[in-house]
């Protein structure tokens, strides 16, 4: 479980692990529930060994279908696990208005903590805030929280689990899945199942994500 280039296979959780080098990563994800599906593409670039820029865009043809990933985010690593055995990072992001909501953009600021209790295991904790802008004068703030675990199963497979949500109850999610490396740190397939139980969306879902990496073998 050497390569930790992006936040996948998690859906809501960010990690504080060091990037390999100044590389590009692309992931294409499909999420489906009983109402419909969403397709999203994420492009990431390691600007430096400690800063990563993320661009996400996607669409969902169904109002009650899964929410597509969209936005621009910057993650900064302040403490590398290679130094102290644990990592600390921050993540800032902005999301455009959503087609199914009469709201403006969203902004996020998060603190990220990652720790390895044993070889091949990582625990990730995210805490932060999200600001919504329903109109030009009003701003609504709520908390963000996520807890995730990833565990090596074999040299080519590892499983992951996460629980995440917002303080206002709009978004709450449980997610369990498996990552399989298809091509020597170049291509990975993530499959997972989960359940949303927030006020915006509820019900079970399935997620499939294909990751293309430009990492050194």
pLDDT in tens, 36-45: 888 999 998 8
Q: CB atoms < 10 A from the CB of 124, how many?
A: 24
Distance, in Å, from the CA atom of 38 to the CA atom of 34, rounded to the nearest integer, reads 12
Using an 8 Å Cβ cutoff, are 180 and 156 in contact?
yes
Structure tokens at 95: 């999301």
CB distance 149 to 118 below 8 Å:
no
Tell me what pLDDT residue 79 has: 93
* Phi and psi torsions of 69, nearest 5°: -80, 130
pLDDT of residue 72: 94
If pLDDT is split at 50, 70 and 90, which confidence band does 18 have? confident
Q: In this predicted model, what pLDDT tens digit does every residue of 70-123 receive, in sequence order?
A: 899 999 999 988 778 899 999 999 988 766 556 678 899 999 999 999 888 999
Give the pLDDT confidence score for residue 160 in this predicted structure. 95
Residue 204 and residue 33 in contact, taking contact as beta carbons nearer than 8 Å: yes
List own/partner pairs for 196-199 with CB under 8 A and 24 or more apart: 196/33, 196/171, 196/172, 197/172, 197/173, 198/165, 198/166, 198/169, 198/170, 198/171, 198/172, 198/173, 199/168, 199/169, 199/170
Distance of CA 154 to the CA centre of its chain: 23
Mean pLDDT (the chain) is 86
* 3-state DSSP of the chain: CCCCCCCCCCCCCCCCCCCCCCCEEEEEEEEEECCEEEEEEEEEEECCCCEEEEEEEEECCCCCCCCCCCEEEEEEEEECHHHHCEEEEEEEEEECCCCCCCCCCEEEEEEEEEECCCCCEEEEEEEEEEEECCCCCCCEEEEEEEEEEEEECCCCEEEEEEEEEECCCCCEEEEEEEEEEEECCCEEEEEEEEEEECCCCEEEEEEEEEEEECCCC
Is pLDDT at 140 greater than 90 in this prediction?
A: no
Q: Which domains does the chain have, with CATH numbers?
A: 24-213 (2.40.160.40)
pLDDT in tens, 155-192: 889 999 999 999 988 889 999 999 999 987 789 999 99
């Amino acid at each position: 479980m050497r390569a930790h280039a992006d936040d996948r296979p998690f859906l809501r959780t960010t990690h504080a692990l060091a990037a390999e080098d100044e590389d590009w990563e692309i992931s294409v994800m499909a999420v489906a529930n009983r109402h419909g599906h969403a397709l999203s593409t994420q492009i990431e670039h390691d600007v430096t060994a400690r800063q990563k820029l993320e661009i996400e865009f996607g669409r969902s043809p169904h109002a009650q279908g899964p929410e597509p990933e969209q936005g621009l985010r910057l993650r900064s690593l302040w403490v590398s696990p290679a130094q102290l055995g644990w990592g600390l990072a921050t993540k800032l992001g902005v999301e455009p208005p959503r087609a199914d909501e009469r709201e403006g953009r969203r902004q996020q600021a998060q603190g990220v903590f990652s720790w390895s209790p044993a070889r091949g295991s990582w625990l990730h904790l995210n805490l932060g805030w999200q600001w919504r802008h329903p109109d030009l004068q009003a701003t609504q703030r709520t908390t963000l929280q996520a807890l995730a675990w990833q565990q090596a199963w074999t040299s080519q497979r590892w499983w992951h689990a996460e629980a995440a949500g917002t303080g206002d109850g709009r978004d709450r999610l449980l997610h369990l899945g498996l990552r399989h490396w298809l091509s020597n740190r170049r291509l990975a397939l993530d499959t997972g199942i989960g359940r949303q139980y927030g006020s915006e969306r509820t019900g079970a879902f399935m997620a499939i994500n294909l990751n293309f990496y430009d990492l050194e073998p």
